[in-house]
A and B are shown apart, each in its own frame.
Chain A
Amino acid sequence: MATEVLEEYGTRQRLLNSDRLLAGVLIAPAIIYIVALMGVPFVLSIYYSLSDVTTGGTDAPFVGLANFRALIGDPTFQQTLYNTFLLSGMTLVVVLVLGTIQAELLIRSFRGKWLVRFLILLPWTAPVSLSVIGWLWMFDSIFSPIDWSLREAGLLGHPGALLGPATNLYWLGSGGLPMASIILVNVWRILPLGTVIVLAGLNSIPREVEEQALIDGAGYFRRLFQITLPMMLPIFGIAVLFTFVFTFTDMVLVYILTRGGPANSTHVLTTLAFFTGVQGGSLGQGAAVALFMFPVLTALSAIVLMLIRRREV
């Protein structure tokens, strides 16, 4: 009896002292978190997209690819897809250009550099919903401070004014301005991250390479296009990936600014999915909208990550 007790005690002690068990316990919270909060909802949303589930209940009859087929010929969905790529693409281009310029400036020494860095990073630190509400006020159809400034400057609000005789530009309602406004706010929001990524990339370029080029008589643009930018391609890859992921997964920006209007002209996949699936009640259809680009994004991410890896090697 005593031997059995001692054996059991020894087994328990060995178990508690096991490196494998400790590793398991330490990693378990992260795995549980990922599986419970990301894995399960993701698998569920895939199933939803293949079903006719509604917000009214948990019955989810399997309908195969019917939800996806219905989307392909839908003009609103086509416009939404175009908008999503337009927003991501335009944001990417502008963020890469402006981010590189800002990083080039910030890498140099000058007085008040900390203040400039602080101001540039500020948009990133504010909660997205709050900062977008701020922009909503900036674009207000009556009280827009941007319009007020333009009126005060004589550029708007009187016959013959450069920007027209109307008192306001109607940023979120007139012509192509709504989509342009959304792109502008998205750039404003993502630019700090882009700048920091590029800045990190610039800092990682060995000084000797730069110095050698200088000794060899290379000018600024030659160094930029033949040394700096090629060496920073992996970093740009990261920026591309982040911009696409952030833009494709964000709903707040469009939801707060335009709710997809005017007349569905600014919907992105996330907002269309929300209005169709949650507000409209057709959850399966909404899930299909949200997941439509998943294979493309997965492939894009894989390609970018592969290219980065190759470049590093």
Chain B
Amino acid sequence: MGGTKHEQSHRRRSRTGKDARITRRTFVAAGSALGVAAAVAPWVITSARAQDKTLRILQWSHFVPAYDTWFDAFAKKWGEENGVQVSVDYINIADLAATTASEISAGSGHHLIELGPEAAQFEPSLIDMADINQEMASKYGKPFGVAERVSYNPVTKKHYAFCHGWTIDPGDYRKSLWEKAGMADGPVTWEDLLTVGAKIKNEQGVQVGIGLSQEIDSNMAARAVLWSFDTSLQDENGTIVLDQGENLKRTVDAVKYMKDLYDKALTPEVFSWNAASNNQALIAGRASYILNSISAYRSAQEARPDIAKDIFFTPALKGPGGTGWGNVHVLYNYVIPTFAGDNADTAKQFIAHLVANYDEAMYQSKLYNSPSFPEAPIASGQRSYAAVAEAKTLNDLTAAWFDNDPFKLEDEADGKLRGLKSAAEWTTNLGHPGYANPAIGEVFSTFVIPNMMANVARGQIAPEEAVKDAAAQIRKVFEAWRNRGLVQGG
């Protein structure tokens, strides 16, 4: 054995174990071992966990917080009864696309993800859910038409999602303000909104609350205006028609209408709004009319009962030709990434269980959720709500609750939600009259349509030019997705 005296003595001390000092060699050895352990541990832990029967769900924090509390307990109970370890993670709706993108890129994450129309962009990495869609349709009857158009791709013939529910997007107006302006039942047409809305702003100092910003409510409002003016981005076959034939004039008219509305009834605040802003404006008493789900009203019931009692609802407003369309405010698209593997079947079983109990989902969301399968029978067994006489299907239940809102305040008017009973007739999907697809999703996410209108309202560009610019942008997006084989038309 060689080495210096110091090294020999060092080795001796180490061998006897009497010296507790960290030597260079123990440090190097321990450090290397620790590094290897740290590198290997995640794989060991993951493969150990993978042995369990689990279901990991990711969905957005519901706008009615009580829904999440109910859903948590509902999912866990199902898990206990079926020997599945269920966990549910809730995140902001705006973060869902980014989170899903990162999970798909990583090839691991949640087994069941609740998305909106953006589900289409992830299609190549999602399993085909034709089986569960067909099973539910054969069991509960034809789904609401929108559900099919936001979960099926006619090009690839794939059901990339399962849409279990949707949300109505009515007009929410302040009755007292509209009554004073001579229109107690609120606006019926977009023209009413312009003329009487402007009158309310001038005489009572309260503006209309339609956004022209880079957020989802503005996106939906802009589309509702286009559709009600009998124009659209694409036709049934996915061809861009925004600036084609008669549609060009209609689109230009719709854009001019929004400029008029801005000039006469809105304020510059609408350019800076986020998704919560119109709710806040309504609850703060600073909006006479907004386009939003009933969540704004539900929030007002808690925060400002005086305002809530004054909020009433209108169906989709009608355009110059008498057409009135509203956008699905929110839709609930469950997707199963391909990496879910064996957990896919568990996820589908859970979906079937949720659909079978959708009466509870509707009630716990305070009527925010509407069912995709309205003809499904009401489940038997103990329910969390008072039984509704004569109600046999979800449709019956919805109608009864809209007639007599179980969540209305004590001294609140009856039948305020009655107008929403016809919502399925005037509600449509992104991509109307065609399918929602990844190109429609990208156009939505990059705010092409509200920006087209905002640019004109701000006086930056002429209406005709704005429409042609927007159509060119949309064509570019569609072309890219067509080349990827995911979008129809040409």
Chain A residues near B (Cβ < 8 Å)? 6, 10, 13, 16-17, 21-22, 25, 28-29, 52, 54-59, 70, 75, 139, 141-143, 166, 168, 170-175, 178, 258-264, 274-276, 278-283, 285
Contact = CB atoms under 8 A, between A and B. Distances in A.
Query: Is chain A's interface secondary structure helix, strand, loop, or mixed overall?
Result: loop
B25 A281 contact: no
Contact of B460 (A29, A142, A263): A263
Interface string B262-284: 00000111111110010011001
28 contacts: A13-B3, A16-B25, A17-B7, A17-B24, A25-B27, A54-B124, A55-B100, A55-B101, A55-B105, A57-B124, A58-B125, A139-B272, A141-B267, A142-B280, A142-B281, A142-B286, A170-B271, A171-B272, A173-B270, A173-B271, A173-B272, A258-B214, A260-B214, A261-B213, A263-B454, A275-B445, A279-B98, A280-B446
B118 interface: yes
B31 A174 contact: no
Interface string B432-468: 0000001001100111001100110010100000000
B9 interface: no
Given A56-B121, A171-B272, A280 B445 contact: yes
Given A22-B24, A56-B124, A178-B272, A261 B11 contact: no
A252 to B, nearest CB: 14
A6 B458 CA distance: 85
Interface string B113-126: 00000100111110
Interface of B: 1-3, 7, 11, 24-25, 27-29, 31-32, 35, 97-98, 100-101, 104-105, 107, 118, 121-125, 212-215, 267-274, 277, 280-281, 284, 286, 438, 441-442, 445-447, 450-451, 454-455, 458, 460, 469, 476-477, 480, 483-484, 486
A170 B211 CA distance: 14
Contacts, number: 154
A172 B24 CA distance: 60
B214 A259 contact: yes
Nearest to A275: B446
A59 B100 CA distance: 16
A17 B25 contact: yes
A262 B451 CA distance: 8
B274 A56 contact: no
A50 B97 CA distance: 23
Contacts of B215: 259
Nearest to A274: B98
A276 B447 CA distance: 10
Contact of A262 (B7, B104, B442, B458): B458
A226 to B, nearest CB: 47
Contact of A10 (B1, B31, B269, B445): B1
Nearest to A260: B214
Contacts of A258: 214, 272
A139 B268 CA distance: 13
Contacts of B118: 279, 281
Contacts of A59: 124
A275 to B, nearest CB: 6
A16 B29 CA distance: 7
B122 A56 contact: yes
A289 to B, nearest CB: 12
Nearest to B454: A263
Closest 4 CB pairs of A and B: A173-B272, A16-B25, A141-B269, A281-B121
Contact of A56 (B104, B269, B277, B458): B104
A262 B213 contact: yes
A25 B31 contact: yes
A56 B102 CA distance: 10
B272 A261 contact: yes
B28 A21 contact: yes
Nearest to B269: A141
Given A25-B31, A142-B269, A262-B213, A279 B284 contact: no
A281 B442 contact: yes
Q: Which of B269, B271, B272 has the most CB of A within 10 A?
A: B272
Nearest to B94: A279
B270 A261 contact: no
Given A57-B124, A172-B272, A260-B214, A279 B446 contact: yes
A55 B121 contact: yes
A32 B480 CA distance: 37
A57 B272 contact: no
Q: Which of A55, A259, A285 has the most CB of B within 10 A?
A: A55
Given A58-B125, A259-B214, A282-B477, 5 more contacts: A55-B100, A172-B272, A174-B268, A260-B214, A279-B98
Contacts of B477: 280, 282
A16 B28 CA distance: 7
Contacts of A264: 214, 447, 451
B438 A56 contact: yes
